């Protein structure tokens, strides 16, 4: 098994231990274009959960930020917060499964 395949797969598997650091380091250190492509793809896939979590936090804080802190907005906002929580969780799960699948495919 070549070192380039292992590095490419590690970029995908790093979603568990170093989601941003390893793909960035591999992208700038390794000269092979195929490894750089995998590092870039894995970095983008690692950014997706961070963006969904930030959107979830913004959605949860929106009633407080915009001054709509009444009884109706709590019911509506609470529902949106739970929906955002479920969507963010589903997206994060899909991204993790996708990274594992891509890492295994690279190793084959």
Residues 23-56 as b/e (b if ≥16 CB within 10 A, e otherwise) read beebbeebeeeebbebbebbbebbeebeebeeeb
Give the pLDDT confidence score for residue 46 in this predicted structure: 92
Report the pLDDT value the prediction gives residue 58, as an integer from 0 to 100: 77
Q: Would you call 23 helix, strand, or coil by DSSP?
A: helix
103 pLDDT exceeds 60? yes
And the tokens for 98? Answer: 């996708």
Kindly tell me the number of DSSP H helices and DSSP E strands found in the chain: 4, 0
**Global pTM?**
0.78
pLDDT value at residue 105: 95
Q: What is the pLDDT of residues 33-73, one digit of tens each?
A: 999 999 999 999 999 988 888 888 877 776 666 665 555 55
Stretch (H or E) spanning 24? helix 21-29
């Amino acid at each position: 098994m070549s070192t380039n395949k292992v590095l490419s797969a590690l970029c995908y598997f790093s979603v568990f231990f170093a989601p941003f650091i390893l793909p960035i380091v591999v992208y700038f250190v390794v000269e092979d274009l195929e490894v750089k492509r995998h590092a870039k793809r894995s970095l983008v896939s690692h950014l997706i959960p961070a963006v969904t979590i930030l959107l979830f936090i913004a959605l949860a804080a929106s009633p407080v930020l915009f001054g709509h802190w009444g009884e109706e907005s709590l019911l509506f906002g609470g529902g949106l917060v739970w929906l955002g929580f479920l969507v963010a969780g589903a997206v994060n799960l899909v991204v993790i499964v996708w990274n594992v699948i891509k890492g295994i495919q690279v190793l084959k």
